[in-house]
Amino acid sequence: MATAVAPTRSVAKEKPKTFSYSSDDIKRMLPHRWPMLMIDRAYDVVPGVSGRGIKSVSVNEPFFAGHYPDHSIMPGVMIVEAMAQLVAVVYVAELLEAPAPAEDTPADPSASVGYLGSISSMKFSRLVVPGDQLTLEAKLGQKLGGLRSVSVRASVGTELAAAGSLIVTTERKG
């Protein structure tokens, strides 16, 4: 005897809307300026959740003049800074792309960018040199009061250059 089975409906998971930001957009989103503005473009940004970014590494970067002048390598702290700036773009995007801005949303979105509070388990696995293009990734974790945990990665092509965790402040005081 055959038993009837109710047809199963596949529930398609709705893909979150993503955004891309040019270097000019990023200048409006972040308080950083040359020579400390480290990211050239952000894409696949899911506001408040995750994003990817690009940092094109040029021999003209000011740190190359003094960081191993005979063997130019990008300092690890600058790679971390680039990843932290992508994190800021992801959480500022949440303010900018919200359907209805909150009453306390600042007129200047860059004013909401906080500080890097902690670097954990950061591992560097490849030298980054002039001519490389860093692909950055950030996934925001849970909020801990005024802090936020984040997982970050930086790659050159298919090679991992750095990965670890950051804690960032979600507001600026001071």
Q: How many residues does the chain have?
A: 174
Q: Which tokens hold the place of 107?
A: 């007129």
b or e along 107-142 (b: 16 or more beta carbons within 10 Å of the residue's beta carbon)?
Answer: eebbebbbebeebeebeeeeebeeebebbbbbebee
Any idea which residue has 């009453």 for tokens?
103
Q: What is the DSSP letter of 61?
A: -
- Is residue 32 annotated as a catalytic residue, yes or no? no
Query: Annotated catalytic residue: which of 27, 67, 126, 153?
Result: 67
Residues involved in catalysis: 67
